[in-house]
Structure 1
Amino acid sequence: MTTTVTLTVNGRSVTRQVEPRTLLVQLLREQLLLTGTHVGCDTSQCGACVVHVDGRSVKSCTMLAVQAEGSSVTTIEGLAADDGTLHPMQEAFRENHALQCGFCTPGMVMSAVDLLQNNPKPTEHEVREWLEGNICRCTGYHNIVKAVLDCAAKSGGQRIAAE
């Protein structure tokens, strides 16, 4: 038994047939081939699978694809401009060496973008608190926090857009 799911992914309308138990992360990775969204734990603990659903960060390993019906989903692939220009948060991660193995990076970036949409001038403590749901296996937290604060400073206290 399958059901039809229609949503907007990275600005493009998508319709797919899914089993009712299909997770959003499975739809993104397996059917849409958007493999930048990583699966780390399947239990909502690591944050590697964070995407934006209607502008809010969501752990896509615990959301059913059918729950995203009619929603707008942005993945890490949807942050960069069509010409390849990095999103300001992606650029801040690059400039501040805020990645090591890179496994957590997409989820960290997506969570950090959501933070600056909600709080454009976070303190270091607020950044660390916001990112508690994202685990870095390499313990690269110092440069990740530095990157988020750098992006916030460069945005001049303005909210940064996810797309």
Structure 2
Amino acid sequence: MSRLLVVFIIAAGACLISPVRAQPAQATLKAALLYRFVQYSEWSDNPPAQQHYCIAQDTGVFNSLTEILAKQAQVSLLTAADQASECTVLYLTAELASKPEWSQLLQASDRLTVVEGAELFRQGAMFGLIAEPNRISFRVNLTIARQQGFHLSAQMLKLAKEIH
């Protein structure tokens, strides 16, 4: 399984261009994982014509993802929860995900959701990112993903540290 994780991370890194390397490594890795989560997920009903990634108050991840996507999709840096109405992909830090005005955004269908933290993803997000020494792992809430109309690739699920 660790060999597949290395392949996944290398593939994520392959889409990076040199300006991103100046960003902090952790933010760049989170952005690359977010990008790959979308690539390996399918919207069952009403797939969006174009993805709209929303990064809530994390400028490092926002800058890294903007560089990775290079105008392939819209990326917005949210400063308030009420700005998320058009988001198809939402990323919340652990601090924001624990606040009610932000955590309610995790319940929206047709929105792929990613949060930081080992436990917060069980409260409504599809993916949880966990910082570990020298890497970031992820957990998947497959039940919520299916309830909200998403099909997640088996290849990606093999890389998850935990599937809930």
> Do Structure 1 and Structure 2 share a fold, with TM-score over 0.5?
no
Instruction: With a CA cutoff of 8 Å and minimum separation of 6, indicate the structure with the bigger relative contact order.
Output: 1
Q: Which has the higher strand share?
A: 2
Q: Normalized against structure 2, the TM-score is what?
A: 0.30
* Larger of the two Rg values belongs to structure: 1
